Homo-oligomer: A and B are copies of this chain.
C-alpha cells in the first residue's frame, strides 16, 4: 500500500481519478457546455427524453427491461451494439448533468457488444440470461483493499484519495459472473467517502446529483447507481449495502432496489474499510427499473453456483416460487399517507393486510450502530490520514466508539436474539412480508440524509428488502406543509421542517417491502403482487 502523503498533495492524487474520468468520457456524444444549460434543467429524465439526443428507437432501447431486450435480440430486431450505443449516448449526457460516473468503459463495452452480436449471428442463440444487458457497477478507482467492486485493470479506491494506487488484476467475482451471463458494463459509478453515507459525495469526483432534481441527494451509498439506473443509463446497476445503501438510492431516484439476505450474492473482490467485519454483513444488491429485472439478476448469478468459488456464501440456489394472493398476508407499518393509500389498494386487490407495530426498532438500531464501526473507525482514519484529505461530515456521523472483543461478542449475541424474536413475531402475527416507508421523507437535499433506521433495520435483522415506486407522487396541493405538527423528537421536528412542498412537488414516492430471513424469492414474488395492486 503506497501512501501519497509524503510527496503529493491529496488534491493532486485525486486529480489522477478525475483525469481518468475526463479522458474516458465519449467525446462524440458529449454536449457542449453552452448547449447544455444545466442550471435550467430540473428533471434530467425529461431533458434526456425530449431534447432529441436519442432517436425514437434509441429511447425505446433505453426504456427496455431485461425481458424486453432479450426478446428484441432473440428476434434479431436489435443488435447489442446499437443498444449499448444508445445507453452510452444517454449516459454521456446524463453524466454531464448528474456526475454519477467514475469511468466510462466505452471501448470494452462496444467490443463486448460486437462479440455478442457475432455469437448471435453465428449461433442464433443468446449467450446467457443477461445477453447484451447494460449493467453499471458501483466502483470508483483506487489502490489496495479499500475499493469496492473491482473491475480488472482499473483503479479501485473506495472513495479514499489514499487508495488511488489500487488496481486489482481481475474483475470482482460478481462482475465475472455477470459478464459470463452476457452483460456488458458501460461505466462505473460514484460512491461516498468511506462508503458509509446515505448520500454520494467524496473528495475525488465529488457529488452525484438526483435525476429528478439536482438539488436533491441521489441517496447512497450506491448513489451513482441510483442516478444512473434512475435516469435509464443502464438497465441494471450493481449496488452494495450494509445499511440501506441499495434501497435508499433506488427510492430517491424512482428506481427498484433489492437487498438480499446476506451471503447469497457474490462479494469476492469487494473490500471497503470494513473488510473482515462480520458482525453486520454487507451484501451486493441490484438496482433496476422493474421488479422482474431484480429477479432475473439474482437468478442469473445464483444459477452459476457462486458458492463453489466463494466459500463464504451460503449454497442456496435461486428458487422459483409462486406467491398467490390467497397465501399472502402483508403487514403494514402505517406511518404516513402513502402507506394508508397502499393499504386501501392492497385490500381492493384482495390481498390480506394487517397493521404491524414495529418491534423494538430502537433496540435493533442500538445494536447495529455500535457494530458497524466496532474498530472505532480506525481504518477510516488511517485511510484519510494517509493522504491528508478531509473527513466529510457524513463520514464522521457514521463512526462510533471502539468496542472490546468481549463487547463485540455480547452485541453479536444480542443481535441474534433480536433476529430470532423478530422472525418469531412475524410468524406469530401471521405476516409474510412487511410494507413500510423507504425513508422518513420522499427525499433529502444533498448531504442531508441522516436517518438510517428505515432501511438499516433490515440489515440488523438480515431480512431481504426491496424498495420500489409506490405509484403515488408528492403533490403540493394535497401534501402542504403541516402547520400544527407535533414532533415526537428534535429529529422529527428537523425532518418536518425540511419538507418543502414546492421542492418535492411531483417527486415519486417509493415504498419498501421486507421479507423473512432467507425468503428472498418469496419476497420478490410477493412484491410483484403488491406492486400490481398499488399500480392498479
Is A365 an interface residue when CB atoms closer than 8 A count as contact? no
- In this assembly, does A5 line the interface, its C-beta being within 8 Å of a C-beta of chain B? no
Flag whether A74 is at the interface (Cβ < 8 A): no
Residue in B closest to A312 when the chains form the complex, CB atoms: B416
A192 to B53, CA, bound (A): 75
Chain B residues within an 8 Å CB radius of A406: 375, 378-379
| Any B CB within 8 A of the CB of A71 | no
Assess the B316–A412 pair: CB atoms within 8 A: no
State the oligomeric state as a number of copies: 2
The majority secondary structure among interface residues of chain A is loop
Q: Is the CB of B309 within 8 A of A424?
A: yes
**Is A318 interfacial (CB 8 A cutoff)?**
no
A275 touches B409 (CB 8 A): yes
A276–B404 Cα gap in the complex (Å)?
Answer: 13
**Candidate in A310, A416, A424 with the most chain B CB atoms within 10 angstroms:** A416
Chain B residues whose C-beta falls within 8 Å of the C-beta of A315 in the assembled complex: 316, 518
Partner of A420, one of B276, B311, B375, B413: B311
A409-B310 contact, Cβ under 8 Å, with A315-B316, A315-B518, A316-B315:
no
* Chain A 379-408 residues near chain B, CB threshold 8 A: 379, 402-406, 408
A473 within 8 A of B: no
Chain A interface extent, by class: 35 or more
**Taking the nearest CB of chain B, how far is it from the CB of A400, in angstroms?**
11
A277 at interface (Cβ–Cβ under 8 A)? yes
Q: Which of A274, A312, A412 has the most CB of B within 10 A?
A: A312
Instruction: Given A309-B424, A420-B309, answer yes or no on A276-B378 (Cβ-Cβ < 8 Å).
Output: no
**Contact A310–B374 (Cβ < 8 Å):** no
Contact assessment for B409 and A408 in the assembled complex, using a CB-CB cutoff below 8 Å:
no
Provide the residues of chain B in CB contact with A275, threshold 8 Å: 409, 413
- Flag if A409 contacts B277 (CB, 8 Å): yes
Contact A412 B518 (CB under 8 A): no
Q: Which residues of B contact A279 (CB under 8 A)?
A: 278
Q: Is the CB of A278 within 8 A of B517?
A: no
Q: Does A352 contact B (CB under 8 A)?
A: no
What are 22 A-B pairs at a CB distance below 8 A?
Answer: A271-B413, A275-B409, A276-B409, A276-B411, A276-B412, A276-B413, A278-B278, A278-B412, A307-B518, A308-B423, A311-B419, A311-B420, A314-B314, A315-B316, A315-B518, A375-B404, A375-B405, A375-B406, A375-B409, A378-B405, A404-B405, A408-B408
Interface residues of A (CB under 8 A from B): 268, 271, 274-279, 307-312, 314-316, 374-376, 378-379, 402-406, 408-413, 416, 419-420, 423-424, 427, 462, 517-518
